[in-house]
């Protein structure tokens, strides 16, 4: 069992090996649940940072000729793809 000290602001540093095991990274949300005289902490969800290029090829525009991003309706393309 590992311990941490609470700061004046109520902050606690989660030990690195625990953060790694649970995949806790910057931006993660934690839920705090009181259980009797104890406290349970759950990783609520993890925010996955992505890059614009990660979405390349997800939507395809079949319009022929010269195209401009301003003319592309993403919502319509998603509806048509489904």
* pLDDT one-digit tens code per residue, 3-28: 999 999 999 999 999 999 998 888 88
Residue 4: inside a domain, yes or no?
Answer: no
Residue 13: inside a domain, yes or no?
Answer: no
Residue 59's domain comprises 55-81
Q: How many domains does the chain have?
A: 1
Decide if pLDDT at 49 tops 70.
Answer: no
Q: Are 69 and 53 in contact (CB under 8 A)?
A: no
DSSP secondary structure code for residue 44 in this structure: E
Gyration radius from the chain CA atoms? 22
Helix, strand, coil share (%) of the chain residues, nearest 5: 25, 20, 55
Measured CA to CA, the distance from residue 62 to residue 67 in angstroms comes to 10
Average pLDDT in the chain: 83
Decide if pLDDT at 82 tops 80.
Answer: no
Binning pLDDT at 50, 70 and 90, where does residue 78 land? confident
Residue 71: inside a domain, yes or no?
Answer: yes
Predicted pLDDT of residue 33: 95
Residue 43: inside a domain, yes or no?
Answer: no
Residue 14: inside a domain, yes or no?
Answer: no
């Amino acid at each position: 069992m590992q311990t941490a000290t609470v700061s004046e602001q109520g902050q606690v540093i989660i030990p690195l090996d625990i953060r790694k095991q649970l995949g806790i990274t910057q931006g993660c949300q934690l839920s705090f649940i009181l259980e009797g005289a104890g406290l349970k902490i759950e990783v609520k969800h993890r925010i996955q940072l992505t890059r614009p290029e990660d979405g390349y090829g997800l939507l395809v525009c079949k319009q022929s000729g010269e195209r401009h991003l301003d003319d592309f309706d993403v919502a319509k393309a998603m509806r048509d793809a489904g």
